[in-house]
Amino acid sequence: MEITILGSGSPPPQTSRAGQSMVVSIDDEPLLFDCGPMTVERLLENKFDLQDITSMFLTHHHIDHNSSFFHFVITSWMYGRQDLSVYGPEGTDTLISALTDIYSRDIDYRKDFGRPIEGMTGIKHQHVNDETVISEDKWTVTVHSVSHSIPTYAYRVDAHDSGKSFVFSGDTERIDSLVDFAKGADVLVHDAAVGPTREVTETDDACDQESWRQYLSTNPHPSETPMVDYHASGRESGEVAEAAGVETLVLTHFLPAQDTEATKEQAESAFSGDVYVAEDGLTISTV
């Protein structure tokens, strides 16, 4: 099992961190989790064939987790994708019908290039809940509702052959029930959006600098915004990882000026395993 972080950012736009998305590869079968801003570009940068992505799991319908949905579906079809199953909370069906409605003439035009229309008309979806179990040849995915501002789900992947396991918390405050859900996982990717910020400097990416300036002009006290009630801190992520006995913890969902090293130190103060700060393109192999 190999985990590739495609995007480690959050709603404020950043070019150094795409929106949330990651791929879990099991024997070369790529499973896509979330589809935030710049997912398609990051898939290509990390040498994934777009047509090979035929299973997508959405944690929730916030812009930093699904805004590249239309972009991914159409470009992957352009590049040869013929199947797609999309799993997610209620509203996932609306996402698909909106796509085929708004882009019907775009799709008609592109089909004339000889692309099999089934890649667009045959998209399957399933709304998930705590009872959902999706089992295919190489893997089983289970689902767990977490605590965020809207219905949101964590996903767990168990690989059949290797016995390796992966959990993505989605966006959530610290919740005890995630400890059982993530029990013994090899890799836990956990929301760590709540953390200290640092000064942005001229060495930061130009988009990130400007994004943070505009963010602060409307939210001068990031630690006092409602987001702190709906996300976890580094320390809380570490506490969940420790109680669950996971092997490796990956912290993600960072603001442009988040002090990621301080966030990591918080996690390390509560967790005795390996801690990584998610960066776009970070790959972790469990083998």
Q: How far is the CB of 253 from Zn ion (least distance, A)?
A: 6
Q: How far is the CB of 256 from Zn ion (least distance, A)?
A: 14
Q: How far is the CB of 150 from Zn ion (least distance, A)?
A: 7
| Cβ nearer to Zn ion, comparing 42 with 62 | 62
Dihedral (CA of 241, 273, 270, 10) sign: negative
Point out which residues bind Zn ion (CB under 5 A): 62, 64, 171
Q: Using alpha carbons, list the distances in angstroms from residue 182 to 18, 70, 158, 190.
A: 25, 31, 11, 10
| Cβ nearer to Zn ion, comparing 172 with 286 | 172
| Cβ nearer to Zn ion, comparing 14 with 286 | 14
| Cβ nearer to Zn ion, comparing 65 with 164 | 65
Q: How far is the CB of 241 from Zn ion (least distance, A)?
A: 19
What is the DSSP secondary-structure string of 132-194?
-EEE-SSEEEEEEE--SSS--EEEEEEETTT--EEEE--S----THHHHHTTT-SEEEEE--B
* 8 A C-beta contact, residue 80 and residue 110: no
Cα distance between residue 131 and residue 137, in whole Å: 20
| Cβ nearer to Zn ion, comparing 64 with 208 | 64
Q: How far is the CB of 17 from Zn ion (least distance, A)?
A: 12
Q: How far is the CB of 135 from Zn ion (least distance, A)?
A: 27
Q: How far is the CB of 72 from Zn ion (least distance, A)?
A: 17
**From its phi and psi, is residue 28 left (phi > 0), alpha (psi between -120 and 50) or beta?**
left
| Cβ nearer to Zn ion, comparing 60 with 235 | 60
* 8 A C-beta contact, residue 243 and residue 167: no
| Cβ nearer to Zn ion, comparing 62 with 264 | 62
Single-letter code of the amino acid located at 48: F
